[in-house]
Amino acid sequence: MGALQEWVKAELLTPRRLLFNVLWYPGHVAIFAYGWYSQDVNPGLKGLNTLRFSVWVSRGAGLVLAVDGFLILVPMLRNIIRLIRPKLTWLFPADENIWFHRQVAYSMAFWAMVHTTAHYVNFINVERRQIRPGNALDIHYRQPAGITGHAMLFIMVIMYSTAHHKVRQQCFEAFWYTHHLAFFFMIGLYTHAVGCFVRGTKEPGFTNTFPFYDPKICIGYLSWRALIWPGIIYFGERVWREIRARRETKLSKVLVHPSGAMEFRIVKPSFKYTAGQWLFFQCPEVSKFQWHPFTITSAPEDPYVSVHIRQVGDFTRALGERVGATPSVVASLTQAAMKAAEKDSKDAGGMTGRGDFVELDPAAATRPLPMIRIDGPYGAPAEDVFKSEVAVLVGAGIGVTPFASILKHIWYRQKRGRLGALRRVEFFWICRDAPSFGWFQSLLQEVEAAQMDPNFLRINLYLTQKLDQNTVWSIVVNDAGAEYDPLTLLRTRTMYGRPDWKSIYGNIRSAIESGQYLPGASSQLKTRVGTYFCGPPALAKTIREAAIEASSATVQFTFAKEHF
Amino acid sequence: MGVFIWHQWAQIVGIFASVCTIWGGLWGIFFRKFFWDFVNGTLMPGPNHAINGRKCFDDNPCGIVPAKQDAIFISLIVKAPVIQLFVILFGITHLAIELLPVIRRMSIYRSFALRIVTYSLQTFLSVLLYQGTSGAMYSFVAVIGFTVAQMKGEIVEEAKEQRGRGDKA
């Protein structure tokens, strides 16, 4: 019962998902019904219609597959989506393109099953009744429709099985390379009907000129005329991405942070981006064809593009090895930093930091820095932040990374006095174990130290992991009376446990309404409090509910989830 | 780069192949046809012809009349859907092995040799059916996957027991 209730809640009670479900599934059934109907009433296809249900089903499903074959590539047109999306945010609240791609793929699998099953019945009946000369095997394995159809099914088995999340997460390369079989799949899809199966005559009507069949005799849907466009555009996009990636790119610096994260500072004059976006990163010396996504951590005002890379996967480890940030280097760095921190805190007892980052000196290394390429930017720009008076930025876990760029960007604009409507920023960082994001802490430290107005940026840290007794006592002993938080070395105190969003939003609202929060804000105007969240979906839901519940006549709370 | 775990992939392909095989087997009960009947068989050019004493009419279609030496397959597939039922049985068994949580704790779940044999049998039986060729092909891909897994000496991890982590932080 619990599972059913959850399903109902996820699929039917979420308005946007409900809208999708209502349009998507009945839409497919309607297209299927139209394909069925148009086959049934076509006087030119009388001969085929003697096959009755199986041919009606196969033609209906065929039309659905044509539509899905068009849709499957649309969410993958990344560059076009990046241009169009900001104008259509009401329709696509976030980067849901992969999710949509998957829905189309599931739909294709189902309708391919229907289409193929119906054709197995069609062909056996063609053979038995000889409404056309030849046997079923010929149609299956000697005619273009059969050959391309079976090939496409086989490609689907390979592509779907390696795209399964288990395989994809274990070995991304297997998924990435096999997914390029899509090229052959699409060729198969465009040529599926050239064999002229859908015809009224006994013999197919082939010609010697493109498209090599007579459209008067071969009266299929001629769907390739529409289907081919997303394919051409996608191909063009891939070529364009390759050209763009080859533009001058220089890896200017590699910094190793004590927490083990490597910061790559890249100079690429042709690369324009806004805060909160991400890029594809390639290092041909490590892997010739692989592109890996990373969040941009520099602000657009910075003279370089930076990404922070932690050595957690095989690619990132190999990359670390290549630039000379081997585990032993990182370990000695971390130890040195910890020793220094201990010593400093004994001597000065004040602001110490976690040890500074170390720049890897290319002159000292035996090899120069590797050539790298970047492609992008992709993802939603976070410019909306400047449209609301109060921005609540919530980063959970690894979802905190885009806020590095956003916070820096806000800081730059603050310096220049170009904050737009923005008056205050509440930054929430919810994290299981903060130390693994040491580099982010040091960035926060800088941002915090640079604040001129103590009320502008407020940092709220929540540590959700369970702590053992020793740590708890250590915190209790070190926290009392110290100027900086013992765990994060920020002025802001770390809070332990999960944040209570209802009371947080309630407090913000009452503070705004009483006029303390935004001095000088006129009460006639509606105050906009925008929440920008990046992190796991379950938390997004909780926060969204709390934010919307807190809205009142004078304070409007909005919520945006970003898949950075 | 990322280690490709062959048996993990072969299991996914195997599940898919088994679903295809069951589906093909079911349809094979209603439209009974020996896939290889074209070998030495004769195609009836149309209704009202007679070959080997069989006559085809509009209401009694026949298509390819198989050769006499294929009689064993005809009796096992066309006269009685024996192979169809076996194929469905194999498919269901495979789905059970791959998907049922109960079996995850048994040793058969961890055996590649067993799977190589059973998926090969599924391939062999399924390829006899007109509707079974796709399922047979995918089953064969699964066999390849499990064989590579066996040769590489991959090991199926034992199912983790569902235990809370208690006081461990």
Domain match, A239 and A254 both: no
What CATH number should be reported for the domain holding residue A264? Answer: 2.40.30.10
Contact A149, A143 (CB under 8 A): no
* pLDDT at A57 > cutoff 90: yes
The answer as to whether B71 is a domain residue is no
Contact A354, A441 (CB under 8 A): yes
Percentage above 70 pLDDT, chain B = 81
Domain match, A109 and A258 both: no
Q: Which of A218, A244, A270 is the last residue of a domain?
A: A244
Instruction: List the single best residue of B130, B146, B152 to mutate versus A (max A Cβ within 10 A).
Output: B130
The answer as to whether B85 is a domain residue is yes
The answer as to whether A460 is a domain residue is yes
Helices A144-163, A182-190: axis angle to 10 degrees equals: 150
Domain match, A401 and A509 both: yes
The answer as to whether A390 is a domain residue is yes
Q: How confident is the model at residue A247 (pLDDT cuts 50, 70, 90)?
A: confident
Helix intervals (H) in A348-437: 401-415
Which residues of chain A make contact with B62, given a CB cutoff of 8 A?
128
What CATH number should be reported for the domain holding residue A419? Answer: 3.40.50.80
Tell me, what's the pLDDT at A547? Answer: 83
Please tell me the total count of domains within chain A: 3
Domain match, A69 and A202 both: yes
Rounded mean pLDDT of chain A?
80
Q: Residue B27 and residue A120: Cβ atoms within 8 Å?
A: yes
Picking from A231, A392, A468, A171, the residue whose alpha carbon sits closest to that of residue B1 is A171
Residues whose CB falls within 8 Å of the CB of residue A229, separated by 6 or more in sequence, listed in order: A70
The answer as to whether B131 is a domain residue is yes
Helices A224-245, A182-190: axis angle to 10 degrees equals: 150
Domain match, A487 and A544 both: yes
Chain A positions touching chain B (beta carbons under 8 Å): 113, 116-117, 120-121, 124-125, 127-130, 133-137, 140, 150, 153-154, 157-158, 160-162, 164, 166-167, 170-174, 287, 290, 313-315, 318, 465-468, 471
The answer as to whether A29 is a domain residue is yes
Q: Residue A157 and residue B13: Cβ atoms within 8 Å?
A: yes
Q: Residue A135 and residue B5: Cβ atoms within 8 Å?
A: no
Q: What is the pLDDT of residues A435-467, one digit of tens each?
A: 566 677 777 777 777 777 777 888 888 877 776
Q: How confident is the model at residue A389 (pLDDT cuts 50, 70, 90)?
A: confident
Contact A345, A352 (CB under 8 A): yes
Domain match, A362 and A391 both: no
Domain match, A265 and A238 both: no
Q: Which of A191, A216, A244 is the last residue of a domain?
A: A244
Which residues of chain A make contact with B5, given a CB cutoff of 8 A?
167, 170-171
Residues whose CB falls within 8 Å of the CB of residue B35, separated by 6 or more in sequence, listed in order: B127, B128, B129, B130, B132, B133
Tell me, what's the pLDDT at A505? Answer: 85
Q: How many CB atoms lie within 10 A of CB A88?
A: 10
The answer as to whether B143 is a domain residue is yes
For residues A473-479, give the mean pLDDT.
69
The answer as to whether A40 is a domain residue is yes
A131 burial type by CB count under 10 A (0-12 exposed, 13-18 middle, 19+ buried) = middle
Q: Residue B1 and residue A287: Cβ atoms within 8 Å?
A: yes
DSSP class of residue A377 equals: E
For residues A109-122, give the mean pLDDT.
95
ipTM score of complex: 0.89
Percentage above 70 pLDDT, chain A = 82
Q: Which of A198, A215, A244 is the last residue of a domain?
A: A244
- Window from A219-228, A348-357, A480-489 with minimum mean pLDDT: A348-357
Per residue, the 3-state secondary structure of B15-65, as one string, reads: HHHHHHHHHHHHHHHHCCCEHHHHCCCEECCCCCEEECCEEEECCECCCEE
The answer as to whether B126 is a domain residue is yes
The answer as to whether A90 is a domain residue is yes
Of A128, A167, A318, the CB nearest to B61: A128
Write the DSSP string, A432-501. S-GGGGHHHHHHHHHHHHT-SSTTTEEEEEEE-S---HHHHHHHHHHHTT-SS-TTT-SSSPEEES---H
- Rg of chain B over Cα atoms, rounded to whole angstroms, equals 21
Tell me, what's the pLDDT at A347? Answer: 43
CA pair distance A548, A559, nearest whole angstrom: 8
Angle (nearest 5°) at CA A348 between A347 and A351:
135
Percentage above 90 pLDDT, chain A = 19
Q: Residue B1 and residue A315: Cβ atoms within 8 Å?
A: yes
Residue in chain B lying closest to A468 (CA): B169
Q: What residues of chain B, 50 to 109, have a C-beta less than 8 Å from chain A?
A: 58, 61-64
Residues whose CB falls within 8 Å of the CB of residue B101, separated by 6 or more in sequence, listed in order: B159
Both structure tokens of A168: 């994809």
* pLDDT at B60 > cutoff 60: no
For residues A297-321, give the mean pLDDT.
83
* pLDDT at B43 > cutoff 90: no
Domain match, A234 and A314 both: no
Instruction: List the single best residue of A113, A122, A128 to mutate versus B (max B Cβ within 10 A).
Output: A128
Q: How many CB atoms lie within 10 A of CB A11?
A: 12
* pLDDT at A119 > cutoff 90: yes
The answer as to whether A297 is a domain residue is yes
Q: Residue B12 and residue A161: Cβ atoms within 8 Å?
A: yes
Domain match, A217 and A152 both: yes
Q: How confident is the model at residue A348 (pLDDT cuts 50, 70, 90)?
A: very low
* pLDDT at A564 > cutoff 60: no
Of B12, B27, B134, the CB nearest to A153: B134
* pLDDT at A118 > cutoff 60: yes
Q: What is the pLDDT of residues B76-123, one digit of tens each?
A: 998 899 999 999 999 999 999 999 888 888 888 888 999 999 999 999
Q: Does B8 touch chain A (CB under 8 A)?
A: yes
Of A124, A314, A471, the CB nearest to B33: A124
Domain match, A234 and A264 both: no
Domain match, A212 and A262 both: no
Q: What is the pLDDT of residues A23-47, one digit of tens each?
A: 999 999 999 999 999 988 888 888 7
Q: How confident is the model at residue B167 (pLDDT cuts 50, 70, 90)?
A: very low
Q: What is the pLDDT of residues B132-164, one digit of tens each?
A: 999 999 999 999 999 999 999 888 876 665 555
Domain match, A299 and A238 both: no
- Which is more confident, A329 or A247? A247
Q: What is the pLDDT of residues A497-549, one digit of tens each?
A: 778 888 888 888 888 877 777 766 555 567 888 888 887 777 888 888 888 88
Q: Which domain holds residue B157?
A: 13-32+81-161
Q: Which domain holds residue A455?
A: 380-561
Q: How confident is the model at residue A364 (pLDDT cuts 50, 70, 90)?
A: low
The answer as to whether A178 is a domain residue is yes
- Window from A145-149, A504-508, A533-537, B37-41 with minimum mean pLDDT: A533-537
Residue type, B74: I
Task: Tally C-beta pairs within 8 A across A and B.
Answer: 95
The answer as to whether B114 is a domain residue is yes
* pLDDT at B62 > cutoff 60: yes
Q: Residue B141 and residue A157: Cβ atoms within 8 Å?
A: yes
Tell me, what's the pLDDT at A354? Answer: 47
Residues whose CB falls within 8 Å of the CB of residue A493, separated by 6 or more in sequence, listed in order: A461, A479, A485
- Which is more confident, A359 or A393? A393
**Cα torsion angle, B89, B91, B92, B97, sign:** positive
Tell me, what's the pLDDT at B30? Answer: 92
Please tell me the total count of domains within chain B: 1
Distance from CA of A137 to the nearest CA of B (A): 8
* pLDDT at B6 > cutoff 90: yes
The answer as to whether B133 is a domain residue is yes
Q: Residue B44 and residue A120: Cβ atoms within 8 Å?
A: no
Most confident of A47-56, A93-102, A342-351: A47-56
Q: Residue A171 and residue B23: Cβ atoms within 8 Å?
A: no
For residues A348-365, give the mean pLDDT.
52
Most confident of A76-80, A88-92, A205-209, A310-314: A76-80
Q: Residue B58 and residue A164: Cβ atoms within 8 Å?
A: no
Q: What is the pLDDT of residues A178-187, one digit of tens each?
A: 999 999 999 9
